[in-house]
């Protein structure tokens, strides 16, 4: 689904003030890598219904297995693993025995202590990846997740790591084993560890989406395969409100234009934004704040809500409103399915001119 920065800002998907954004509200990731990936997931809506359904099934699968989710991987663990390959150490012995281990501990005590601490976190990280693969892998695992898990399994399938497979806790490792594993990870597994960090970032992002689904009791929207535009939502509400009032809406090809009126502060703008947020989240594979939702796949989503002037360019509020409407008309003239959100057309001019301009635009949009 196509959109732009103005629409993302209008809907507060992201915001410099994190507490005011949809992203922050839905961020239940465990690590900074997961947070970065979740930001990416919500920045670029998915292309096609198949991709959306795959992500929906992934987060449902993770929610089902949330109580078995690996607890050995924290944000601190990920940070320590990343630092391991950036920190300078005296050369770690390749095949340490009792004598070489004692020698390294005596001559490089500071490095040994740091290596032991770091390798413990690397061990916990690898065990966490193994656990995630074990609980998510099945015949019904969605294709994108199945490919990701297969890649993780391939990376973990190393003879040395197989030797440590039956050891459940890093506390069971001897000093020699810490050095042996540290040498292998640092000199022979660096690229693989970075790949696993990327893989876990994607898993953590999906985990965050699943936990948001669970925490806020969001519904999984149903996408129709029809070529006709459709948007039906029951008891939809604005995700960022503490005590929201739910509304329902039904739009289709025959009834494709909703003209909303009401008193000031009655909730019109909130309702418009709630529609946009729900549609946007649905196209990211995310659950939506509603009792249920049924919709078609939309080519794009555009809004005209918080238009501002630009003093440095000499562009007035009204000028930018006109430019935004012009850009919107150009976008929707391709006979594709678009959801267009407009809040108070032409606020930048007098009431009479605003009415005339609005009627012209509305008539034009209805014809499309």
Each residue's pLDDT tens digit, 70-94: 999 999 999 999 999 988 888 888 8
Burial (0-12, 13-18, 19+ Cβ within 10 Å), 233: buried
Q: Return the minimum-mean-pLDDT range out of 138-147, 149-158, 309-318.
A: 309-318
Element containing residue 294 per DSSP (H, E): strand 292-296
Token output for 207: 């985990």
Q: Answer whether residue 318 shows pLDDT above 80.
A: no
User: Count of alpha carbons within 13 Å of 8, Cβ hemisphere only?
Assistant: 15
Q: What is the mean pLDDT of residues 338-354?
A: 80
Each residue's pLDDT tens digit, 221-259: 999 998 889 999 999 999 999 999 999 999 998 888 888
Q: Answer whether residue 140 shows pLDDT above 70.
A: yes
Q: Answer whether residue 312 shows pLDDT above 50.
A: no
Q: Answer whether residue 10 shows pLDDT above 70.
A: yes
Range of 109-113, 264-268, 283-287 with top mean pLDDT: 283-287
**pLDDT band at residue 317 under the 50/70/90 scheme:** low
Q: What is the mean pLDDT of residues 199-208?
A: 97
Q: What is the mean pLDDT of residues 318-333?
A: 77
Taking the alpha carbons at both ends of the chain, their separation in whole angstroms is 19
What confidence score (pLDDT) does residue 279 get? 96
pLDDT > 70 fraction of the chain, expressed in percent and rounded: 95
Q: Are 20 and 317 in contact (CB under 8 A)?
A: no
Q: What are phi and psi of 163, to 5 degrees?
A: -65, -25
**pLDDT band at residue 304 under the 50/70/90 scheme:** confident
What confidence score (pLDDT) does residue 6 get? 85
Q: What is the mean pLDDT of the chain?
A: 89
Q: Answer whether residue 311 shows pLDDT above 50.
A: no
**pLDDT band at residue 310 under the 50/70/90 scheme:** low
What confidence score (pLDDT) does residue 261 get? 85
What confidence score (pLDDT) does residue 259 get? 86
What residues contact residue 133 under an 8 Å CB cut-off, 6+ apart?
Answer: 149, 152, 153, 156
Q: Answer whether residue 348 shows pLDDT above 70.
A: no
User: Of all residues in the chain, what percent are helix, strand and coil, respectively (each to 5)?
Assistant: 55, 10, 35
Round to whole Å and give the CA distance between 170 and 179: 12
Q: What is the mean pLDDT of residues 264-280?
A: 91
What residues contact residue 300 under an 8 Å CB cut-off, 6+ apart?
Answer: 1, 2, 3, 331, 336, 338, 339
Q: What is the mean pLDDT of residues 31-60?
A: 95
What confidence score (pLDDT) does residue 16 get? 62
304/294: higher pLDDT: 294
**pLDDT band at residue 18 under the 50/70/90 scheme:** low
Round to whole Å and give the CA distance between 122 and 5: 39
Q: What is the mean pLDDT of residues 164-192?
A: 91
What confidence score (pLDDT) does residue 262 get? 84
Q: Answer whether residue 303 shows pLDDT above 90.
A: no
302/23: higher pLDDT: 23
Q: Answer whether residue 314 shows pLDDT above 50.
A: no
Q: What is the mean pLDDT of residues 182-199?
A: 94
């Amino acid at each position: 689904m196509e959109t732009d920065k103005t629409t993302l800002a209008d809907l507060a998907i992201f915001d410099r003030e994190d507490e005011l954004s949809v992203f922050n509200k839905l961020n239940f990731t465990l690590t900074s890598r997961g947070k970065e990936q979740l930001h990416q997931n919500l920045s670029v809506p998915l292309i096609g219904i198949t991709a959306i359904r795959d992500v929906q099934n992934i987060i449902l699968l993770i929610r089902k297995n949330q109580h078995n989710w690996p607890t050995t991987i924290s944000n601190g663990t990920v940070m320590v693993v990343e630092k391991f390959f950036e920190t300078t150490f005296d050369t770690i012995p390749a095949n340490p025995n009792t004598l070489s281990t004692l020698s390294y501990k005596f001559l490089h005590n500071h490095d040994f202590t740091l290596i032991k601490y770091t390798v413990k976190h690397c061990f916990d990280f690898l065990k966490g990846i193994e656990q995630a693969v074990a609980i998510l892998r099945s015949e019904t695992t969605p294709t994108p997740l199945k490919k990701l898990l297969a890649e993780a399994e391939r990376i973990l399938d190393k003879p040395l790591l197989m030797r440590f497979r039956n050891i459940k806790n890093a506390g069971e490792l001897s000093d020699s084993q810490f050095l042996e594993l540290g040498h292998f990870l640092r000199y022979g597994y660096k690229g693989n560890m970075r790949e696993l960090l990327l893989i876990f970032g994607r898993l953590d992002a999906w985990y965050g989406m699943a936990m948001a689904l669970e925490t806020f009791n969001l519904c999984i929207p149903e996408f129709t395969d029809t070529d006709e535009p459709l948007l039906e939502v029951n008891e939809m509400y604005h995700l960022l409100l503490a005590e929201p009032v739910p509304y329902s809406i039904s739009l289709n090809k025959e009834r494709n234009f909703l003209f909303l009126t009401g008193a000031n502060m009655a909730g019109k703008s909130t309702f418009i934004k709630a529609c946009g947020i729900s549609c946007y989240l649905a196209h990211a594979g995310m659950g939506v704040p509603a009792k249920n939702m049924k919709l078609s796949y939309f080519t794009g989503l555009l809004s005209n809500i918080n238009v501002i002037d630009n003093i440095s360019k000499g562009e007035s509020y009204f000028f930018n409103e006109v430019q935004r409407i012009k850009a919107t008309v150009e976008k929707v003239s391709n006979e594709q399915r678009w959801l267009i959100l407009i809040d108070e057309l032409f606020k930048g001019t007098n009431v009479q001119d605003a009415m005339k301009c609005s009627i012209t635009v509305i008539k034009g949009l209805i014809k499309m």
